[in-house]
Structure formats: C-alpha cells, structure tokens
A and B are shown apart, each in its own frame.
Chain A
Amino acid sequence: MSKISAMMDTGKRSLMNSQTALQTVGHNIANKSTEGFSRQRVELMTNQPITEGNLQIGMGARAGVVTRVNNPWLEKQIQKEGTSMGYQDSRTNALSRVEQIYNEQANKGLNQYMTDFFNSFRELSNNPESLASRTMVRESAAALTKDFGRVVGQLKDVQEDIDGQIKTTVDEINQITKEIASLNEKVQMVEIQNTPANDERDRRDLLLKKLGEKIDISWAEGKDGMVTVTAGRTGILVSGSGSSELKAQETGDRDRLEIFFVGTGAPANITKQITGGRIGGALDVRDHIIEDMLAHVDNMAYTLAKEVNAAHIEGFDKSGRPGVLFFDMPEDVKGAAATINLNKTIFNDVGRIAAGAQPGAAGDNTVANVISSLQNRQVMDGGSSTLDDYYNTQVGQIGAIAQRAAKAQESQKNVLGQLTNIRESISGVSLDEETTKMIEFQKTYDASARLIKTADEMFDTVLNLKRL
C-alpha cells in the first residue's frame, strides 16, 4: 500500500521536474536567436516503482537528462558547404573588383586609349607636317602608357587588398582555434560525468563552421569528445586542448603574403595546400587570375612597344634625322605594362616622331601608316589575333569568370540556405512550441501542487482521527 509521504514525494519531484522543464523552455526561448543553438529537451522518465505484494505502484517521474535536438551529420554537411560558400564569397568579391578594372561601360579604358593611339597616327598620316597632329600622337601615347600603368596598379591594389584580408582572416582563425581548444576541454570535463555538454557542443559546432568558412579544414571527434582540426593537409590547428597558430608572412621570393603553419618545429609554408574557404578563394584570385591578367597586359604592352619601335626606328623625323625608339623598350615581358613609357626624346620634342620612310620629305607619312596599320595586324597569340582582339578577349574572359563566380556564389547560397533551413527545422526554436510546452508544464506544476495539497489534507485527516 502506498504511503501518503510517497504521494507527497511524487508531487514534490513532479514540481521539481516541471520547474526543470520550464527552465529549459526558458533557455530555449532565450536562445531563440542565438547562432548555432540547438533546442534542448528534458528527457522525463518514470521513476522506479515500488512493488507491494502483487501491486506495482508508480512513483512519479524523474528528469533523466537534458539533451539537444541536433543532427551531427547535417552539421558536418553545413560546415563543408560553408567552406565552399566562403570560397565563392571571397572569390566573387575580389573578382568584381578585378572586373571593374576592365569595365569600359562607363569609363575610358585600355581599349579606348589604344584606339586613340592608333587614330593619332592616322591623324599624323593625314598631316605629318603639322605640330598639332604630332602633339596628338605624343598625348595619346602618354595616355596609353599611363593607362597600362593604371591597369597594373589597380590589379596590384586588389592583390594587396587580398593580402590584408588574408592577414585579418588568419588572426580570426587563430582566435577560433584557441576557443575550440578550450571548448574541447570543457566538453570533456562535462561529459566525463555522463552529462551531455549541449551548449558547449553547439558553440563548438558553430566555431567549426565559422573556421571552415575561412579556410578548408578537416576535423574528427575522438572518443574523449574532443575534436582534432587540420587545415590543408598538414596544419594541425587543434589537437585536444591545445591549438597551433597560422601566420601570414611575406616570403623572400615575392612580396605577397604566404600562409605558414606554426607548430612545434620551424614554420611550414602551407599556402599551396589551401584550396577552400575565404582564404582559398582569395588566394585563387590573387595568385592565378590576377597573375594571369598581369601577364596578359604585360604581353600586350611588350608587343605594342616592340612593334611600334621596330617601325619607328626605320623612319625619319621631321628634320630628316633617323628615328629613335618610340617607347622606352621594356627589358622583359614581365613587368612591361608597368614600365612602358614614351621615349623622353620624343616627349620633349614631337618633331622627333618619325612619320616618314625617307629623310627630308616632310609629307612622307609611310611610317605613320605602318604604325597605324599595326592595329589591324595579328601580332598577338602567335599571329592569330590583333591587339584589340587580344584585349577584348581578356575583358570577355574576366567577365565570364566573374559571372560564373557570381552564379556559383548564388547557387551555393541556395544550397547553404536550404541546409540551414533543414537544420532549423530540426534544431531551431519555435515559440509556439515552447509556449505550448510552457502551458503544459505549468499545468503539470499546478496539478503537482494540488497533489501535495491533497496529501497534506490527507495527513490532516489522519492527524485529526484522535480528536474526532
């Protein structure tokens, strides 16, 4: 037979359970907007019953454990897609800046300056005697070389900017890995007592996602509940409760930042191992796409200087002197666009522009014609395209790359959005649901109190037996 005290006890425990459940509901509501939070649930279970004779009497409920509603495989997938997202994001951002350098929809660019340059030679050919048309040649050539410089300068600016981003991102990575390591320790400490470390795990999952957005990582959880995080192939960032740092530093060969893993030994350059995340995307633009564009514009400047010089030096200037180099010849293809310059002699005296093929013939425009014809000659790509074709192809190409990147970013955003939605549908907090639970547990609380009151009254009845 059950005892009144047992009844009171059941009521009391039920009160406590309801309170725990309401506290958890409160925790859920409070963290409704917390990033990476998974809703939590108190697992209630029936208490150990008492057997009396052939009766088994229930002893109420007890709160077993507070668990979080979470799908770890989904979390891992989101983390992976987040790496792609970070890659696409930083790539798209950088590319949209590169693209602007080649945007001639609103501003004057290399294409126009080049046409102006060749047209100025056509004008010179119309009137080789005139100083005005000679000055036009000088101005258009100076403007063209300046624009070559602009393109190179702006491309390098983007590279420098990317370097800055890499540096900031590496600092953030170091912060995150430190926190993951300390969370590792907490998770282990909590879970050694067989209590799931819900909030710590949520936070750690979130940090792994954030880390993955910045750099491509691989990670695994050990039996002790701690995760090991590796960046690239060899940079072990987090191991147990310890973390190692990354460092962004210039190397001797090149004035661009490279990524070093600072472990116990000498710092190891892992730049080439990084192919994902924000850093991976930034590196791709910085080291492949921009370098490629630089090589192309150098190639153009070099060829232009070479071809114009070759013709110009065969000619004779206004006073019958043999032609000088028109452009200061860049030594190397590499860097040609930055160094291409109008020859000082010509800059100072436009009379030195050699328009004619023969000395002492003021109206001779043969060389001017040869130089302006260069515009339609196929001197690029081993004689298969003109300078214009070559440049326009570059513009089309960078446009296509930027467009593809933007589309990839868009679709990656969708993928990630969908996955996040699925995650929310599992782990997210619904106020309606929590409110319902709140009412539910409040009622339970009320009823439990009523039970205690009833037990109390029963006690009273028993205690008053004598008096009756």
Chain B
Amino acid sequence: MRIADKMAFNQVNQNLSKNRSDMADLQNQAATQKRITKPSDDPLASARVLAARTEERGNTQFIKNINNARSFLEFSDQSLGELSEILVRAKELAISQSNDASGNAESRMVTASEVEQIYNQAVQIGNRKLGERYIFGGYKTQTMPFSQAGEYFGDDGDMKIQTHKDSFVAMNIPGNKVFLGKGLGGDGIVRARYEAPTNVEQLKEFQQEELQRKEQNQELEQNYLETRGPASERRNSRMDKQDPVTGGAGINLFTTLRNLEVSLRTNDKDGIQETLDTLDQAISQVVLARSEVGSRIMSVNNTMDSLQKAVVDNKVTASELEDADAFQVISDINKTDSTLKATLETSGKLIQPSLLDFLR
C-alpha cells in the first residue's frame, strides 16, 4: 500500500487521541470511584440503580415509621401493663372484702377510698400522652379522651403506619375498646378494624363504612345508657351484656371500678362478689389488648430487621451496579498508560524519518 504522509499523521493522531480518551475515562472512574457517571454508560444498570435508590429511601422511611410506631406501641403496652396491675390490685381488694371473714363495713369504707384512687389512676392512664398526642383517643389525638366520669371523647380510629411496601400496622389502641369494651371481637380481642385504604375507591368505601359505623355507635351508646344506672340496680342485667351491633362482649372498666367502690361504700357484699367476675373479665380484656399490642411490636420488630437488611442489600446492589472496581481501574490505568507511552514512542519513530533527513 502506498503510504501518504497524511495517513501517518492521521494514524498517530487517532491512536493518541484514543489512548488519551481511554485514560481520561479511567481517571474519571478512579476519581469518582463510579463505573457509571451517566445513563449511557450502562442504561440498564443506571435504571436499576435508580430503582434501588428509591427502594432504599423508601425502606429508610419505613424504618423511621416503625421507630415512631414502636415508641407509640411500647408506650401503650407500658400503660396497659400498669392498667392491668391496678385492676389486679382492685381485684385483690375486692376478694379481701368479699366475705365477712376478712372484711367489715369499716374496712370496706377504707378500701373504697383506695378503689377510688384506682379509678382515678385508670382515668389518668386513659389520658396518657406521648408528646402532644393522647395515645388512647383513636384519631382524636388532640382531645382528652376520658372525662373524670369515664365518658369517652375520642373515636375508634386506628392510626395505620406503613411499615413496608404493601403493609400497614395500627400503632394505637382506641381507648373505648380497652376501657369501655366497645367494638370488640367475639373473642374480646382489641383489633385494628380495617386494612388501610390504599386507593381512592377504598378510601371512599372506608369513609362510607365509617359513617355507618358512627350511626351504629350512637345506637350502641343509647343501649349503654340504659344499662348504666345506680348501683342499686341489679348488676346481673349489665353483666355479659352482648354488644347489640358487633355481638362482642366488653367491660366498662370505669363502671366496674365505680360499682366496686359503691358496693364497698354501701357494704354490699353481694355487689362486691358480683364485681369479682366483672373484674376478671376486665383484666382479661386489658391483657388481651396488651397481647395485641405486643404482637404488633413483635411484627414491627421483625419487619425492622428485614428492612435493615434490605437497606444494606440495596446499597450493595447499587454499589455492584454503579461502583468502579478499584483494582480493575488501577490495573487498567497502568495498562493504558503503557499503551500510551508505546504509542508516543512509536509515533515519534513513524513521523521522524523522511528521505530529506538523509540528503545532504
């Protein structure tokens, strides 16, 4: 082949610019420690990196959600623990005063004062606050849930917190369920009512059902009003009363404690004995609620573990996709460097000699 001078120059130019641009690219990788600096470096991987980052950010947020829900749940658990303790104390008092062997009118009078204190403590527990939020008010976190008379001003909303892509967990237990025994399941367990709505249709359905339920609750309220009465009324008529709407049985802690107190004050031995049963049920109502809270804490902890693992996994995935292999980059740099030097050396030789150099 005939070689024109321009060919040689072109060739030298091309080779040098290729070596130099390879070198620049590698240097960039070494400096950023990233294999991908723009989508076209690896289109598939860069789309996957984005997805991994979204996932990672989402998971980090879920971890925050869980931390928040956990403190709420743990505080509820602690409060329910105290509640069941004071109820147990009330039961002890009731047992000790339920027969004439260990109790008399006077001791019952003294005990009544303690039961009154227990009652007050129960109201206080019902009005517990975490930060600025009442934990037993349902959605109505800004309104004090219980009056001294034991009336409930909250609602039965379950605050659902997203703990994973498709799962929500309720972080609260509405006070009317625990303290008033309303809206419990047939087994007496306090459960979150609904799956959290995740789209507009479900949201509308949810709102519709909530409206209906509100009406039902009002009806329920009226039924309760009837059964609430002076201590002299036959307590049998109140005990084991079926919830006319949900069919669930529940105990009103405040009425129970109040009944006990009244029975003690009136030296009503039968009344005290009747309260024993109700107190048992009340304790189990609180214990069941507490176990529900406990199981939520457990499930949230499990999710937390898998989330923390997922965060790490996602980081690894993103890193595998986009990070430069430092070892590879450095060895490539060395390789390209020697190629560049060789090109420069040979280029010099290629361009230098011409016939003219040998003519004198």
Contact surface of A with B, Cβ cutoff 8 Å: 32-33, 39, 95-96, 99-100, 102-106, 111-112, 114-116, 118-119, 122-123, 125-127, 129-130, 307, 310-311, 314-315, 356-358, 360-367, 369-370, 372-377, 388-389, 391-393, 395-400, 402-403, 406, 417, 420-421, 424-432, 435-436, 439
Contact = CB atoms under 8 A, between A and B. Distances in A.
B133 A129 contact: yes
Given A358-B207, A369-B160, A370-B199, 11 more contacts: A32-B5, A96-B40, A115-B54, A122-B64, A125-B161, A129-B133, A357-B203, A420-B10, A421-B10, A425-B4, A430-B4
B198 interface: yes
A361 B140 contact: yes
Contacts of B207: 314, 357-358
B197 A369 contact: yes
Interface stretch (B42-50, B228-236, B248-256): B42-50
Given A105-B37, A361-B139, A373-B199, A431 B162 contact: no
Contacts of B11: 421
A429 B322 contact: no
A373 B162 contact: yes
B226 interface: no
Contact of B141 (A363, A369, A426): A363
Nearest to B62: A122
Contacts of A356: 139
A424 B39 contact: no
Given A398-B39, A399-B47, A363 B6 contact: no
Contacts of B168: 369
B2 A425 contact: yes
B359 A358 contact: no
B50 A395 contact: yes
B203 A314 contact: yes
Given A397-B43, A424-B10, A435-B356, A430 B38 contact: no
Given A417-B10, A421-B7, A432-B355, A111 B139 contact: no
A130 to B, nearest CB: 8
B359 A435 contact: yes
B159 interface: yes
Nearest to A364: B139
B200 interface: yes
Most buried by A among B40, B166, B355: B40
A377 B198 contact: yes
A315 B197 CA distance: 12
Contact of A122 (B36, B65, B322, B356): B65
Given A357-B210, A366-B197, A417-B14, A105 B34 contact: yes
Contact of B43 (A369, A400, A424): A400
For the complex of A and B, the 6 pairs showing the least CB-CB separation, nearest first, are A428-B4, A399-B39, A399-B43, A396-B47, A361-B139, A363-B141
Contacts of B62: 122
A361 to B, nearest CB: 3
Given A357-B210, A362-B140, A366-B206, A126 B68 contact: yes
